[in-house]
Amino acid sequence: MPITNVKIKDLTVFKELELEFSTGLNVFIGENGTGKTHLLKHLYASQNYAVTNKSVDEERYFTTSECFVLPVTGDIISTPSTATVFIPAKDMLTHSKGFMSINDMYNMPFDKTYYDIISRALLPTLKEISPEAQEILKSIEKIIGGQVIVENEVFYLKKTNCKPIEFALESEGIKKVAIIWQLIMTGNIKKGSILFWDEPEVNINPSIIPDIVSVILDLSKLGVQVFVSTHDYIFAKYIEVLAGDTDNVAFHSFYQTKDNGVKCESGQNFRDLKHNSIIASFDALFNRVYDLNIGD
């Protein structure tokens, strides 16, 4: 089942926050330091707790520099069959070989989301993929130019009529999209699962952003509840433009207040948000360009 709402009190930058979520696509926007990634990790960790009944006090979902072990609080609606996956903003599959065994043996300065994404991507692929998921795989293959293969805990991209290329030699943007292909193949992204994706637009060629947005919307149509965070106007605007009447999309804009920590404004339309740092920055750039042109 999807996450329907959350109530937070005294979590990093949040003094008190209550949110309701779309069962389809949820888009987090806001300036740096407004807790977008913290909330993604909180939801992910809480969902894992609900699924496994394992004490989250033992699991560190934030880096040691953030000095924070995540408490589980709030209303998280889930069932034991709900699969969850968190894709960090940083690429980790390039460093997959031996990472888990070293991390299990030593105290490493990585939060648990890095370990989780590698372990999920290294799982065996499914024997059968649903027809709807196969269509999404084909769309991703057009973007990345091939398919992902794994040998000895190393990820490669096998392009048409080419030898496999190790992830370390691939562009950051291509790897970011390729991981979605792999997670569908391993069954981590499927109907009824929940995907948390931190800043999917980072290192992406702007020309393929519409294709990535289409993949995300297709995943939500498949029955995947998706949470993404972004700072990018083009990415957020394409979500608004490409979303159809039947797409269940919600934008959540986080902003600082003087005395009450970070608050959030939610709405179905990106353009209608009053607290919108992305549009404010875009408008400021537009005005500066306009002034320069008038000055000429």
Dump pLDDT digits (tens) for 182-228.
999 999 999 999 999 999 999 999 999 999 999 999 999 999 999 99
Task: Provide the CB-side half-sphere exposure for 107 (13 A, CA).
Answer: 2
Long-range contacts of residues 231-236, Cβ cutoff 8 Å, at least 24 apart? 231/29, 231/32, 231/199, 231/201, 231/278, 232/201, 232/278, 233/278, 233/279, 233/281, 233/282, 234/201, 234/206, 234/209, 235/200, 235/201, 235/209, 236/27, 236/29, 236/270, 236/278
User: Is 203 part of a structural domain of the chain?
Assistant: yes
User: Is 147 part of a structural domain of the chain?
Assistant: no
pLDDT, tens only, 85-102: 999 999 999 999 998 888
Q: Decide: helix, strand or coil at residue 98.
A: coil
**Over residues 68-82, mean pLDDT:** 46
- Is the pLDDT reported for residue 75 higher than 70? no
User: Is 151 part of a structural domain of the chain?
Assistant: no
| Parent domain of 230 | 5-140+172-295
- Is the pLDDT reported for residue 242 higher than 60? yes
C-alpha distances (whole Å) from 67 to each of 61, 64, 111, 113, 117 are: 10, 5, 11, 15, 21
Residue type, 86: F
Tell me the CATH number at 74: 3.40.50.300
Banded pLDDT at 126 (limits 50, 70, 90): very high
pLDDT, tens only, 46-67: 887 655 444 444 355 554 444 3
Nearest to 77 by CA among 120, 43, 54: 43
User: Is 161 part of a structural domain of the chain?
Assistant: no
* Res 160: pLDDT: 83
User: Is 166 part of a structural domain of the chain?
Assistant: no
Q: Decide: helix, strand or coil at residue 165.
A: strand
User: Is 41 part of a structural domain of the chain?
Assistant: yes
- Is the pLDDT reported for residue 26 higher than 90? yes
Indicate the number of domains in the chain. Answer: 1
User: Is 164 part of a structural domain of the chain?
Assistant: no
* Res 46: pLDDT: 86
User: Is 251 part of a structural domain of the chain?
Assistant: yes
* Res 171: pLDDT: 92
